[in-house]
Amino acid sequence: AQSVAQPEDQVNVAEGNPLTVKCTYSVSGNPYLFWYVQYPNRGLQFLLKYITGDNLVKGSYGFEAEFNKSQTSFHLKKPSALVSDSALYFCAAGGDSSYKLIFGSGTRLLVRP
């Protein structure tokens, strides 16, 4: 069965420090990987995706993610966190033969001033 794991319910980081939000996946075939962010009572906003090509993907608001095929991971990173980055982050994945995305359970990022 296909699955996405976000092992941390919450990540705490000080403003200005680097942040990492972890994601591992299990899908059939070549993976398509996505990161979304959700602010309270809002829909999901697309941050970035990996389809093929460079393992380091750059996205919106200074976020980037690194695809690691051997570790089946797609961790989200940002070199310098902002308080406004505080939100709920979802990783999603699907195999190239699949019709649907599988979402992780979400990681709450809290950036303290």
| Interface contacts to another protein, rule CB under 8 A | 4, 9, 32, 34, 36, 41-46, 49, 51, 90, 92, 94, 96, 98-106
| Residue 69, phi-psi category: left (phi > 0), alpha (psi -120 to 50), beta (remainder) | alpha
Residue closer to another protein by CB (options 19, 33) is 33
Residue closer to another protein by CB (options 13, 59) is 59
Residue closer to another protein by CB (options 20, 103) is 103
Q: Provide the token pair at 71.
A: 């570790």
Least gap, CB of 81 to another protein (angstroms)? 23
User: Which residue, 58, 84, 69, 74, is CA-closest to 23?
Assistant: 74
Least gap, CB of 16 to another protein (angstroms)? 29
Give the CA distances from residue 37 to residues 44, 61, 66, 87, 97, in Å, rounded to whole numbers and listed in that order.
6, 11, 17, 7, 25
